[in-house]
Chains A and B, each alone.
Chain A
Amino acid sequence: MQFENVTCPHCGLLCDDLSVNVTDLTVKLADSAHPCAKFFENASIESNTIPTPQISGKSVSEDRALEKAAEILRDAKQPLINGLITDIQTCRDAMAITEKLGGVIDHANGESIRNNGAVMQRIGKVKTTLSEVRNRADCIVIFGSKLSGKFPRLFERILLPKKTLGNKNVDNKKIYILDISTDGTFRIESGENNISRIFFDFPLLESIVYRLQEIIYKSAKNISTIDENTQCLLDLYETISNSQYTTLIWNSSEFNQDSAEQTIQAITESIKYLMQKIRCVGLPLGSSKGEMTANQVATWQTGVPLPVAFMTGTPVHDPARNDGMKMLANNEADCLLWIANYHSEDEPPNTNIPNIVLGHPNMNANNATVFIPCGVPGVDHRGLACRADNVATLPLPKLRNSHLPNANELLRKLKELV
């Protein structure tokens, strides 16, 4: 059977124009050369054998697995609920059980979205969304060159669409991809579609951000030494100043993590400074594994973003203390409930503590104390997911009848048992 307008939850763009063929439990994109084809094929279940729940690698009934999981959770003093690579309903139910357990909940990539959130918390933001960029941006500046690896269809769907609502400037927009050179030489590579890749002779990617900010704040005449790097950024500033709608795009994980927050703040301050006269906006693109989905749910249900700790009886956000991955590394959790049912590779980190995995049916979770294979949102059951720009929420369809349990229902049963 072929399904149209299927949403792909495997990156934060949530493209929803896919045609998917389903035969029994095999899932394939109609276009096998599609950049997202391999993500979908990952959901196929070989030889139509539905994987069963396991305790320490041995097959058991779902009830037995849930009982064992509840026992582990009941015994834990500091349970950690992590992963959260899943749809909204599962995140909602994960919040509910974490609250009941008095545990900590975080997303596997929680750290990657905290930098943007912290800047929002401290100074606010000037932001835009995907359709707005697609139709209005006439100048795009991207910090770092790894973005299209993480968001395979960014150029096709957002930056270089066939048609726009804008004028000629939008249809012939200029795109600058800024990065540092590895060989100590400044160079510009001009390509098709007005795309310029500029490699600066700077030690760090963030140096570009800070030099550009300096230029924006001081304006050209006050910059003393002008080398190739600076001249190029002066020219870029000139282009931005003469554009209708400049969009600055970044992925915080490309910045040095120790100072990413300050770097994002510098970008935001630059945008706000420019806004006094012209339109300029930011588009942070980080979410590639449902981080936004999990964070939005946590924020509306508790008033605070991830991580959320319930030890005191009320929800507390203290990322320094409750970062999920750091808690695991520092042995600060005594039990892990790992939820990840979008992709088989999102396995739980290695850990010595008892761990319960509600995971993708093709996941290798032999080391888990309890493993319950779950249906895949958008394949085995309906769901909802938030896009990287934090505005659009898209529906995920049900494409096949696998009878795999829905992770959110498992969490509800588990909540009754703990």
Chain B
Amino acid sequence: MSDIDLNLQIWRQKKSDSPGAFETYALDKISTEMSFLEMLDVLNEKLTKQGLDPVAFDHDCREGICGMCGTVVNGVAHGPEKEVTLCQLHMRNFKDGDTLVIEPFRSRAFPIRKDLLIDRSAFDRIIQSGGYVSVNTGGTPDGNAIPIPAQTAELAMDAAACIGCGACVASCPNGAAMLFTSAKVSQLCLLPQGQTERKQRALDMVATMDKEGFGNCTNERECEAVCPKSISIRNIARLNREYLMAALSEG
């Protein structure tokens, strides 16, 4: 355990349509036991006490599952440690005297609302266009009536683990949302429950993804590299296949 001094450069922007700029803040004696968000809390308390506007940033669960937090730290979504969200990133990953450039997740489809806080509702609209099995409540068969091999369940779970944080989009040089979309399509196309709507789902979700202004995938693999839940681009391959089959027969 030790304390470090940091130099922060944080993107400040008042509203969606106002211009933004970097502000520099010096922060001393940050315990390396702190999480990144706790470091920002300390900064915000300090700013508040100085009568300045604290930095707006999204967060909720602070244990890496809700997908609400996330900024780009020195060019890397969720910062330098692998497989963690920003809220799980601890300050021991940094050294005394480091400069941290902190920017919001940027994408044409994720407008900035204030400072580091963005609007990811485009993700919701992708799910709304088909990321479900159309069953109403009640009248469903017994859970064991649909046997699912353990391996299949595990593969589906690998994909379903996505927390929708948007780091994939933020890190993609093209701002593509393929990893996110493919995770949901994969989960459902692997499971027997998802078969009925399989083709339409792939077509609709991809159409929405394109409409929302995300870029095209060029297989850069950055998304997989920063994903806090290690969602694999194997899901993207699966989506490509699903889409092709669907487009050739139903599109």
A is bound by B: no
Q: Which residues of B contact A (CB under 8 A)?
A: none
Q: Which residues of A contact B (CB under 8 A)?
A: none
